Amino acid sequence: MTEQASTGSADPSKGAYARAGVDIEAGERAVSLMKASVARTHRPEVLGGLGGFAGFFDASALAGYRHPVLATSTDGVGTKVAIAQAMDRHHTIGIDLIGMLVDDLVVCGAEPLFVTDYIACGRLVPERIAAIVAGIAAGCEQAGCALLGGETAEHPGLLHADEYDVAGATTGVVEKDAILGADRVRPGDVAIAMASSGLHSNGYSLVRHVLLEQAGWALDREVPELGGALGETLLVPTRVYAKDCLALIEAVEVHAMSHITGGGLANNLARVLPAGISVTIDRATWQPAPIFGLVREVGGLSADDVENTLNMGVGMVALVSENEADRALELLAERGVPAWVAGRAEGPSAGAAPAEVRLVGEHPAR
């Protein structure tokens, strides 16, 4: 893991680089603080430690595959980082990053192997960077992948002193003949919905606009519907499904999976359906957490507005063979993942009709 550090210091007693805003010592301290967190994520295939120019992963581990295919995904956390910055709480935002990365990867059936991260900040505060990386490491532990390397770069003049952004990439592996996707989906497949932990890391531009800007609510505002302060709900980290999805794939006949992120349930599920196949999702099968209804009510938004932006309580959907739906639900319950049958696949329709997801019914009243 390489680290480039900067501060806003212009101390004339320091060198020219420090006077320009780059403090090497701060970067070295940040690396020292994060070493223990990173080490906890290491799999046996990881070679070496922090401080080099590249991370190493022993690819001989892939020799046990018949036809290994590498899969990769890259993403960030989005404007949820603004909530963490405003609350000065940085230890969970990294979990969001890992959720966004590995749960995009796992839907094709791939096991995430390692992650690399990138943190850009206006001023490097070693303790803050270490807290962010601790969250990234915690997410990696939940996903079973290694935090192999990363970069911390300070951009004085580009970002304000307490601003930062977080992004990353992950690589995984899957047998070629085990790749999940639209070609496996069949009429009669059951849609197993897995509960989200909350907003996850999508739609925060809308949420912040509605609740913080339009309504003028403070993050420490006590909201009875949420059972506590607004900021606490907004910072609930993304659920990391990777290990649970891999266990499900191992145990039952899974045809496709969809990670419900930006664009909402219908748009993301349609991405893994073949032409001519439709899935009908019954809203009456679950009750979204109060934060979703609150955003709609306070913002005066339509159902389409929120359903096309937020996950509405569903973070992952698996399309499984009908005769294995009960076993899928049992396994997820054993693993502590709330799940239910939300709908089923139908078709094929006449002609070359595009894939379609229909949301029907109403969420039950509280």
Domains of the chain (ranges, CATH numbers): 21-50+66-175 (3.30.1330.10), 182-360 (3.90.650.10)
Cβ-proximal residues to 350 (8 Å cutoff; 6+ apart), any chain: none
Q: Distance (Å, rounded) from C-alpha 366 to C-alpha 363?
A: 9
pTM (predicted TM-score)? 0.90
Which amino acid appears at position 286 of this protein? W
CB 112, CB 147: distance < 8 Å:
no
Cβ neighbour number for residue 15 with a 10 Å cutoff: 11
What is the model's pLDDT at position 50? 65
What is the model's pLDDT at position 3? 38
In angstroms, how far is the first alpha carbon of the chain from the final one?
48
3-state secondary structure the chain: CCCCCCCCCCCCCCCHHHHCCCCHHHHHHHHHHHHHHHHCCCCCCEECCCCCCCCEECHHHHHHCCCEEEEEEEEECCCHHHHHHHHCCCCCHHHHHHHHHHHHHHCCCCEEEEEEEEEEECCCCHHHHHHHHHHHHHHHHHHCCEEEEEEEEECECCECCCCEEEEEEEEEEEEHHHCCCHHHCCCCCEEEEEECCCCCCCCHHHHHHHHHHHCCCCCCCEEHHHCEEHHHHHCCCCCCCHHHHHHHHHHCCEEEEEECCCCHHHHHHHCCCCCCCEEEEEHHHCCCCHHHHHHHHHHCCCHHHHHCCCCCCEEEEEEECHHHHHHHHHHHHHCCCCEEEEEEEECCCCCCCCCEEEEECCCCCC
Residue numbers of the chain with a pLDDT score lower than 50: 1-12
What is the model's pLDDT at position 53? 76
What is the model's pLDDT at position 207? 97
Residue in 341, 345, 342 with CA at minimum distance from that of residue 356: 345
